[in-house]
Amino acid sequence: MTLRDALRIPASEVTDETVYHDRRRLLAAFASLPALSLAGCADAEPPPSPRTNVTPAQARGGFATDEAPTRYEDVTSYNNFYEFGTGKQDPSRAAKTLRTSPWSVEVAGECAKPGTISLDDLVRGLAPQERIYRLRCVEGWSMVIPWLGVPLGEILKRFQPTANAKFVAFTTLADREQMPGLRFRSINWPYREGLRIDEAMHPLTLLATGLYGKPLPQQNGAPLRLVVPWKYGFKSIKSIVRIEFTERMPKTAWNDLQPREYGFFSNVNPEVDHPRWSQKTERRISGDGASRLFPERIATRMFNGYAEQVASMYSGMDLKRWY
């Protein structure tokens, strides 16, 4: 049984297929509307982050898991990358047009050393690390992926962020020639994401350059993507071309489109449901073949199972308001 065959399983046997199609119809409707403001939090800034210290031992405890990794074939053929289409198989078919070399990243904003730097120079001197992280998608499916990359915090320190740098904003490449999905205004291109600076500096936050010991495929965000394992997958922005240190919370693509459904923080939280479906459980794409592609639901864990490493960063925050 192939992955393509598995995806033809009747809707009654798979993960809330109607929810997925509803989401796509809503995206088309949103594209015809003016940009929405941040509902309930307009002109508001989240409370300052508490002072926290994560010990090296705590951080290392999140670098691996004994859970079965998702097959490489599934990781590279079941993706969200709307620049190449809204279907799960679209990126693996269309992303071959993405040119990943040469590649450079612009660094700007509240830092002492802004500029444009090649990918090679960006990661120079930093040994790649393998991290086996769980990835939880807001749609309700999850994977376990062996990533290869460098800690984002080590990269950001090189640009010497100032005391005004409270957030870090990221931007994806937007090239209509390479990315056919840009012809459709499903979101306000280019794709943008952001983190609070303590989240960006956290030892778990990874700038990934590969998976399964191989370079990142185009459909998985080559040549450089963010991986923030305690947040929903759409926060892990792909094919990054710009990093900016900001004083105020930056606009992000999904939050800008529909703030009632996609919060800025987007921490995995089984107690805060998406407005149209529960987040209490998930379907793990894992194991030894397509026959296990859609297993029984498992319980979603707070912060995707990384609470020991990250919960202290949100101490005192209302996680339902700042979802």
pLDDT at 293: 53
Return the closest-CA partner of residue 115 out of 247, 288, 245, 265.
Answer: 245
Q: Is the Cβ–Cβ distance between 173 and 243 less than 8 Å?
A: no
Task: Name the token pair of 90.
Answer: 């679209």
pLDDT at 287: 58
pLDDT at 294: 60
pLDDT at 209: 97
Fold of 3-39+55-313: Sulfite Oxidase; Chain A, domain 2 (3.90.420)
Return the closest-CA partner of residue 146 out of 230, 206, 98.
Answer: 206
pLDDT at 81: 96
pLDDT at 26: 43
The residues of the chain scoring below 70 in pLDDT are 1-43, 286-296
pLDDT at 20: 38
What share of the chain in percent tops pLDDT 90? 75
With tokens 């800034």, the residue in question is 45
Q: What is the 3-state secondary structure (H, E, C) of 151-183?
A: EHHHHHHCCCECCCCCEEEEEECCCCCCCHHHH
pLDDT at 6: 37
| Residue 12 falls in which region: left (phi positive, over 0), alpha (psi -120 to 50) or beta | alpha
Average pLDDT, the chain: 86
pLDDT at 31: 42
